[in-house]
Amino acid sequence: MPELPEVETVRRQLHQKLRGRKIRQVKILKTGREWPRGNRFTRALQGQTVLAVRRRAKLLIWELDNGTFVMGHLKMTGRFVFVGTGLQPDKHDRIVFELEGLPQCLVWSDIRQFGFLKVMNTEQLKQLLSNYGPEPLEVSPQVLADRLKTPKTRHLKAALLNQTVIAGIGNIYADEACHRAGLRPSRRLGDLTSADRLRLAKSIQQVLRESLAQQGTSANDYLDTNGERGGFLELLRVYGREGQPCKNCQAPVKKIVLAQRGTHYCANCQK
DNA sequence: ACTATCCCCTGACGGC
DNA sequence: TGCCGTCAGGGGATAG
């Protein structure tokens, strides 16, 4: 559920609070999908200083002063949250980070346990990141449009969800971008005109920017590092609005399954 | 080398 | 009240 705007919101908050701070202690409360497991994970981080927190696609990357990185993925319910010390841990809390000079702990929790943190070296990180498509807010619309040409038979929805095509888009913004562009998610790439692709590319950038300005969308589980909800939910035009009136034309929003995902669109506005 | 499908997990919710 | 089935979904693994 956390997509580019949500992950970027978390990144900004983490960067602000972690930059320049030494990780004093790492406590593992519950084993997850972290690598390496257990004490090796703890030892890899304790005593390191966080130089910066970066984002690529939906990945959060802590840059440490010994040249290694902590790569994290929130998946659907992963959460970094700053909490006061001495509080009773939640049943889903997995890791507690204590930072020098910070009166709060940083807790990593994850209800569905799909998320993970991995310690990586430069080469491993470079290898991982090489598989992703362009950052949609860091390239021109034309660059994005050109990514949506092939394979011709692929559904638009499937292409938008594929991180090697364009990075950072997930189910919410795929549906929202298609609605803004007036294109049905079931359209095949080969059917799109150059103008369609360019319009879609601009819609992608527009919806991501607008959501980022609202600190993202809290559709289901997403909360930022302060436990706050994103403000973009009520500005969604189709996602999660099955049967409700389209915000353009009042026709009821339809929901189908496409690329294994719930897919929302307006049959009147989107062709 | 492709694409499509399965599956990991827990909590919320509807039906009975 | 409780039980059961269904759904939410990113992306790696696997089947085709």
pLDDT in tens, A78-130: 999 999 987 888 889 999 999 999 999 999 999 888 899 999 999 889 888 88
Q: State chain A's mean pLDDT as an integer.
A: 92
| Cβ proximity of A96 and A106 under 8 Å | yes
**% of residues, chain A, pLDDT over 90:** 72
Q: Any atom of strand C under 7 A from CB of A35?
A: no
CA A214 to C1' C14, whole Å: 39
Among residues A11, A58, A157, A199, the one annotated as catalytic is: A58
Which of strand C's nucleotides are less than 7 A from any protein C-beta?
7-11
Asked if strand B contacts A111 at the CB level, meaning under 7 A, the answer is yes
In this model, does residue A37 exceed pLDDT 90? Answer: no
The Cα A115–Cα A72 span in angstroms is 7
Q: What is the pTM assigned to this prediction?
A: 0.95
Residues 6 or more apart from A149 whose CB is under 8 A from it? A189, A197
A199-234 confidence digits (pLDDT tens): 999 999 999 999 999 999 988 888 899 998 888 998
Distance, CA of A106 to C1' of C16, in Å = 45
Per-residue pLDDT tens digits for A248-263: 999 999 998 888 888 9
pLDDT at A32: 84
